[in-house]
Amino acid sequence: MSSQKTAGPEGNDLFTRSHLFDLTGKVALVTGGGTGIGLMATQALAANGAKVYITSRNREKLTNTVETYGKNIAGQIIPIQADVTKKDDIEMLVQEITSREKVLDILVNNAGVSSSPVEVESDDAHDMKKSLFESDKANFEDWTEVYKTNVAAVYYVAASFLPLLQKATEVQQGWSSTIINISSISGMIKKSQHHFSYNASKAATIHVNRMLAEEVASNGLKIRINSIAPGVFPSEMTTKKSSDDQQKSEIPKEKYAGKVPAQRPGKDEDMAATPQEVMQAPGNMVLASLRNLRSQWFPPAPTFTEDNVPPQDGRVFIVTGGNAGVGFKLVKMLYTTGATIYMASRSKEQAEKAIETITTASPAPKSPRRIKILLFDLNDLESVKSAAASFAQQETKLDVLWNNAGTGGYGVEPGATTVQGFQAMVGMHCIAAQLFTHLLIPHLRVAATTAPKGSVRVVWTSSFLGEGGTPTNGIDFDTLATGTPDLVQKYAVSKLGNWMLGREMAVRYRTDGIVSVAQNPGNIRAGSYAGTPGWVMMLIGPLMYETKLGGCTELYAGLSPEVSLEMSGCYVIPFGRIRADKDCPRKDLLNAMKPEAEGGLGYAARFWDWCEEQWRPFV
């Protein structure tokens, strides 16, 4: 049986930029590589050592690109004039590169065109018909031209180079060739942005990418196929102007201030970093999984909100991190139910402000409503113990615990640890949360003796990255204590840990009448994204949802009657749906969590025990 071990201290060189992004000896092709995003990709590849072939219909632009950017670089830029909307030109391109190279390592399908804008703001149906149907710009030729370049060319260029790409994988141990299809964020949003045909074509590009990836993999070819959906970047397409003498375009920063999370259009280096990550990422990691997480990125509207919650008079709730973000929205919804709510927060001042905001905005209560403060810091187990003790002095029972508090992957410094010395992400999200839950078990048991069956619950907050950002089988116990150098993966592993804790608690406490459920609140605008690089926010910003919707997911997990005792251990996805295991894209994670007695790896039980071993000396 083969195995793979992670690098120890002697392998630090493996994590340097020069190693991670070294493309020396690699052969790449970038269609439309002379301007805009294509030029950004070309520069990034060539600067890191690749031999980059670029195409354009315009010979002058190709020549200028080589003269301007092809000097004093680690790699090469080689121009080939070609029109990728013509099969004869595509075949010529294949033959030309095949005559020069034994393999093709990287294909970036970037060539694309925009469409004629149409007016969508209308006074009535007749006015809208005039804009969308009767206008000179509304014609089949426009749609045909856009689809020919943005969709059909992507498909045919990818198909034509499959043999050369497959050969690259076969002759290079540890490398798999890659196709990167450049789509657009415009293909993932509802708004037409005045460009129906362009936005529709980019949505089609994304689906062509999915189908190609599936069929190529199903036939045993080892070629990674992924798409990138950029936001707003300077190009001839976005500026509607010819590029300058260096074939660059410019968008004033202030044009997008207040319109996108990064408060600016993308920079060249933002775009350059993205294909680099795609090229170097293992095929079974983030990008392959993201294809299967669409339901969590594009969820339906919530069907369970505060309007569906019956009176909760006499019940007691705790929401950790309830003073901000999703936790704040959850407390605000719970406040109208009549329950007693404990807002667990690091800052008394911030909690008081949050409570004032909630109570001021709410109508006069028909029944007593109370929000109390628990001073609580996941970064310090002493604070966790103190919060549990403070709660025990005031209450005998606890009906629902929402383990909501946490921080984002970029919210801590590399190498950061908790007060007790644990790696920050797993220390706060898993070890401290499990300790807090453990200390409150007696109060949950008391509530379960009299509460309706299945209504006493513990909710664990996971994330789509728990599935999309973790390696095969999710957790490497050999490096769990320190984590990887990658901040995002540390966060992802900790969020998978929350899912595992939720699943294992269901096994251990079902007979006590306590429901345990993990949930992904969704891609929410919240403080957990603090410190995230601008290029990442540029990509995901348009896919983010209002914070209240994340609160609806948590509300569903904690109070919906659909989350019964029989469903304990389930996984709730945005914005309040139970996902069946058969629909989980990561079968390796399900097998990892499955008990050894059932043929699984038993990682959920092992992780539960590991967390307990960490906090036990401090209790």
Name the residues annotated as catalytic.
491, 495
CB atoms within 10 A of CB 465: 24
- Which distant-in-sequence residues (6+ apart) come within 8 Å of 494 by Cβ? 406, 425, 426, 428, 429, 430
| H helix or E strand, kind and range, residue 226 | strand 223-228
Residue linked to tokens 């309706």: 452
Tell me the residue ranges of DSSP E strands in 1-88. 27-31, 51-56, 76-81
Report which secondary-structure segment, H or E, holds 217: helix 196-218
Give CA–CA dist 462/238, Å, rounded.
Answer: 37
DSSP 8-class letter at 2: -
Instruction: Convert 489-511 into a string of H (helix), E (strand) and C (coil).
Output: HHHHHHHHHHHHHHHHHHHHHHH
**Containing H/E element for 106?**
strand 106-109
Which letter does DSSP use for residue 81 in this model? E
Q: Which residues of 247-264 are buried (b: 16+ CB within 10 A; e: fewer)?
A: bbbebeeeebeeebbbeb
> Is 43 exposed, middle or buried, given 0-12, 13-18 or 19+ CB atoms closer than 10 A?
buried
Q: What is the DSSP letter of 417?
A: B
Q: What type of residue is 293?
A: L
Q: Under a CB-based contact definition with an 8 Å cutoff, are residues 429 and 497 in contact?
A: yes
- Taking the C-alpha atoms of residue 611 and residue 599, their distance in angstroms, rounded to an integer, is 23
Q: Based on the number of CB atoms within 10 Å of its own CB, is 225 exposed (0-12), middle (13-18) or buried (19 or more)?
A: buried
